[in-house]
Structure 1
Amino acid sequence: MEISLISTNPRPYFCSSTESLLFKRVKLPSWNSRTSQPLLGRPCSLFHKENLLKVKCIQKREIPVLEASSMDEVFDTLAERTLPTSAEASNPNAKHIVGLAGPPGSGKSTLAVEVTQRVNKLWPQKARSFDSQVKPPNVAIVIPMDGFHLYRSQLDAMENPEEAHARRGAPWTFDPMLLLSCLKNLRNQGSVYAPSFDHGIGDPIEDDIFVSLQHKVVIVEGNYLLFEGGVWKEISSMFDEKWFIDVDLDTAMQRVLRRHIATGKHPDVAQWRIDYNDRPNAELIMPSSKNADLVIKSIDFQR
């Protein structure tokens, strides 16, 4: 798989009608989307010097594109980008909350878990400078939006239960107010219990994920985190940084099809679910990429 990283933050470089800036090396800061200010002390290690940084002029803004040769390189790069600084680690109230969105089959869960694992692996090397006698706790954790699905009993109570179950995964089959409350508590108190999702029983598990004061990097991953309407817009405003995984929809739907079949669905049933629910949801999600600070472009290829 080949990955390109595209930052959609406005940059201080502009294109004239006569200047070609399709390829240009630039040094860019990381940005805090909540304050529109650079993340002080958090260097933009996203752009390694050995990589060619391509710059496209789109609507008078330069969009830097970093091409990586493997998924592992992307995971490592994002982990370095989100690794807490010494100042953040020593601040008990510090939290860097990342909202990771994308359509079904884009690889959100995999990316969130892999980046989190790498941050936690890198952290002890930095934490040695604080206390060499104490093993530092993990500093990164994932909150999946799946835990904020409505319960099956709630779907049963809807006007059209059959339709509600068939469309599970659509925006109205989640509880965004609960998610918003969770994020506000995390921001205000520094710790929170969040629900997970049990795919075996098909329902959330309350208070299954504990985000503690020691967790400095929290990656929240889910389909609709960058939506603009209603409660979703307020949810989006809670993130320090917003990532979106852009993927060819046919490729994503093939991944989802394989996933449905692997869980025991008949191929015809799996395809019907994609046509009726998964693809419409994906098409609804894709435009929200414009609200991201960082777009991760996923492209499959054969080695």
Structure 2
Amino acid sequence: MTLDEDRLRRLGKQISEKAGARFVLGIVGPPGAGKSTLAEQLRDILNEAGRVALVAPMDGFHRSNAELDAMGARARKGEPDTFDADAYVAALRQVRAGNRVEWPTFSRVTDEPVPGGVVIEDEPIVITEGNYLLLHEGPWKDVRSLLDEAWFIDVPDEVLVPRLLERFLAGGRSREEAEAKIAASDLRNAALVRATRDRADLVL
């Protein structure tokens, strides 16, 4: 677990008490930090407490591999411009407004986005997680104002690298390909994301 369960339950209680018609929490951190795990654990705790929460991951807005190939950016997949940030912001505005949203998710099996992977209806709490929620450039700069609260997970590179290596190997990459991707892209992304941590309400 990213956090001990008692602390996570206390944080979940605080979120429940703040939630009204719609509360949007952003969980931010470098690749491999455990954002998805934390978001899912928090969702489950909130639902146990009687609040209905959903996770809406930023990863659903990865550009398709065909788009990345056309951009010549397949090898850089995961960097800020390899996401459709405009679409992510537009969807987040709809969530913020309390509307029904068919939110895409991402399949690590096909390595492609899945349209409508989760449907947000009238749930009072939506947890969105991703790398670039606090980035202050391009369309990403509009995300922070759409979040009621942002939490940052800070994990050192010596922890991230083995996690990313395991992820890529499980996804079918060779060790050589995985290590090259981590060195050329993921660690650079991690440094970029860490530079945004001072915009978070809470650092974990």
User: Whole-Å Cα distance in 1 between the matches of residues 117 and 165 of structure 2?
Assistant: 29
User: Whole-Å Cα distance in 2 between the matches of residues 275 and 74 of structure 1?
Assistant: 34
User: Whole-Å Cα distance in 1 between the matches of residues 103 and 197 of structure 2?
Assistant: 25
Q: Which residue of 2 aligns with 1:285?
A: 193
Check if 1:196 corresponds to 2:105.
Answer: yes
CA shift at 1:261, angstroms? 2.1
CA shift at 1:291, angstroms? 0.3
Aligned pairs for 1:55-204 within 5 A = 71-84=4-17, 88=20, 94-123=21-50, 139-158=52-71, 161=72, 164-204=73-113
Identity %: 38
Residues 55-96 of structure 1 deviation map (CA, whole Å, 9 limit, x = unaligned): xxxxxxxxxxxxxxx5323322222221256x83xxxxx111
In structure 2, the residue corresponding to 1:193 is in which secondary structure?
strand
Contact 2:108 2:171 in 1 (8 A): no
In structure 2, the residue corresponding to 1:83 is in which secondary structure?
helix
Higher helix proportion, which one?
2
CA shift at 1:280, angstroms? 0.8
Contact 2:109 2:171 in 1 (8 A): no
In structure 2, the residue corresponding to 1:157 is in which secondary structure?
helix
Residues 26-67 of structure 1 deviation map (CA, whole Å, 9 limit, x = unaligned): xxxxxxxxxxxxxxxxxxxxxxxxxxxxxxxxxxxxxxxxxx
Amino acid across the alignment from 1:72: E
In structure 2, the residue corresponding to 1:233 is in which secondary structure?
helix
Contact 1:95 1:190 in 2 (8 A): no
The CA RMSD over aligned residues, in Å, is: 1.7
Amino acid across the alignment from 1:74: R
In structure 2, the residue corresponding to 1:106 is in which secondary structure?
coil
Amino acid across the alignment from 2:13: E
Q: Quick check: 96-105 or 245-254, which moved more?
A: 245-254
* TM-score (norm. length: structure 1): 0.64
Moved over 4 A (4+): none
* TM-score (norm. length: structure 2): 0.93
Structure 1 spans left out of the alignment, 5+ residues: 4-69, 89-93, 124-137, 297-303
Amino acid across the alignment from 1:151: S
CA shift at 1:115, angstroms? 0.3
**Alignment length, in residue pairs?**
204
Amino acid across the alignment from 2:162: Q
CA shift at 1:264, angstroms? 3.0
Contact 1:147 1:196 in 2 (8 A): yes
Amino acid across the alignment from 1:217: I
Contact 2:134 2:140 in 1 (8 A): yes
Q: Which residue of 2 aligns with 1:229?
A: 137
User: Whole-Å Cα distance in 2 between the matches of residues 218 and 84 of structure 1?
Assistant: 14
Residues 207-234 of structure 1 deviation map (CA, whole Å, 9 limit, x = unaligned): 2211111x11111000000111121111
In structure 1, the residue corresponding to 2:154 is in which secondary structure?
strand
CA shift at 1:260, angstroms? 1.7
In structure 2, the residue corresponding to 1:260 is in which secondary structure?
helix
- The structure with the larger Rg is 1
Q: Which residue of 2 aligns with 1:242?
A: 150
Residues 146-167 of structure 1 deviation map (CA, whole Å, 9 limit, x = unaligned): 1000011111221xx2xx1111
Check if 1:259 corresponds to 2:167.
Answer: yes
Amino acid across the alignment from 1:267: R
Amino acid across the alignment from 1:139: V
CA shift at 1:273, angstroms? 1.1
In structure 2, the residue corresponding to 1:141 is in which secondary structure?
strand
CA shift at 1:265, angstroms? 2.4
Structure 2 spans left out of the alignment, 5+ residues: none
Higher strand proportion, which one?
1
